[in-house]
Amino acid sequence: MLTSAQPTSTTALLTEAAARRGLATAVLDGPATVGHLAGRPVHWYGGPLAAARIAAPLGLALLEPDDDWLARLPHEFTRRRIELTTLADAWTLRHPAFVKPPADKSIPPAVYPDGSRLPRTGDRIGPDTPVLVSEPVTFAAEYRLFVLDGEVRTGSRYARFGRLDPAPLTADATAFARRLLDALGDTLPGAVALDVGPIADPYDPVEHWAVVEANLPWFAHCYAADPERVLDVVLRAAGPAADLAEADRCFVRRPPAG
């Protein structure tokens, strides 16, 4: 298993879990690392920028949800208006909106007062950069569930009212995720990190659960989830293209244009 040179607590946990299984581990220090590993079966845990450089020479298949997956969900699973558009279109917004890229962090995910506050063009973004524009809501809690072949393998709470607060996974979070996966599981890769939570609405006493987003397992923190089971999902989500399941071929991350 190859990991990014930027260490995180999840990197350490997954590296330890891989070593316990007898998997060799390595850190991406530079081109020499890629050359040394070329021709060997490799799995990846790290960011999408580095992944874009190493995927082809290492024969990696990196799974990711469709950019418009969240926007296509029925309202019963989102509880808010969401659309996939471009950064250029988002610049014209004249009202507050939550804006984020579908997968990476090239634009800081946040509620922006209007489109004028969004970043302009730069090294990693341009007018055609895809973004999800959502009606702002407040999640009372947010949970990350690691899913393999439609089954929740592990997960944890990671935030309360937008503040980091890891805690064990709850039955309610698992039940909502299972309902979503039973209805729409075939619209997701076989390995995915799914974020869900109850929306806080002072005018509605009923607790409504909704999808926050779907994430890349190979670039997702595990928080209080079981690292061994997180590793199961990561290995499937970012591994040798030769081992790719037929159903996952349509979810392989494409190389960046140019």
Percent pLDDT > 70 in the chain is: 99
Task: Check whether 46 has a pLDDT greater than 70.
Answer: yes
Domain assignment present for 119: yes
Averaged pLDDT, 142-150: 98
Task: Output the pLDDT for position 202.
Answer: 79
Q: How far apart are CA 220 and CA 46, in angstroms?
A: 8
Confidence at 257, pLDDT banded by 50, 70, 90? low
pLDDT of 203: 80
Within a domain: 4: no
Which of the four pLDDT bands, split at 50, 70 and 90, describes residue 256? low
Interval 209-219: pLDDT, tens:
999 999 999 99
Considering the domain boundaries, does residue 169 fall inside one? no
pLDDT of residue 15: 97
Mean pLDDT taken over the chain: 94
- 241 within domain boundaries: no
- Asked if residue 15 is part of any domain, the answer here is no
Question: For 102-134, b where at least 16 C-beta lie within 10 A, e where not — what string?
Answer: bbbebbeeeebeebeebeeeeeebeeebebbbb
Domain-located, residue 106: yes
Residue 114 covered by a domain: yes
Averaged pLDDT, 235-240: 98
What is the per-residue pLDDT for 175?
98
Number of domains in the chain: 1
**Domain span holding position 117:** 81-134
pLDDT of residue 67: 95
How far apart CA 14 and CA 197 sit, in angstroms, is 25
Residue 91, C-beta contacts closer than 8 angstroms, at least 6 positions apart:
115, 116, 118
Mean pLDDT of 146-173: 97
Concatenated DSSP letters of 93-157: --S-EEEE-SSS-SS--EEESSGGGS----SS--TT-EEEEE----BSEEEEEEEETTEEEEEEE
Short-list 234, 240, 236, 252, CA closest to 11: 234
Q: How far apart are CA 239 and CA 62, in angstroms?
A: 7
pLDDT at 120: 87
- Statement: the pTM of the whole predicted model exceeds 0.75: yes
| pLDDT tens digit sequence for 240-249 | 999 999 999 9
For residue 212, tell me if it sits in a domain. no
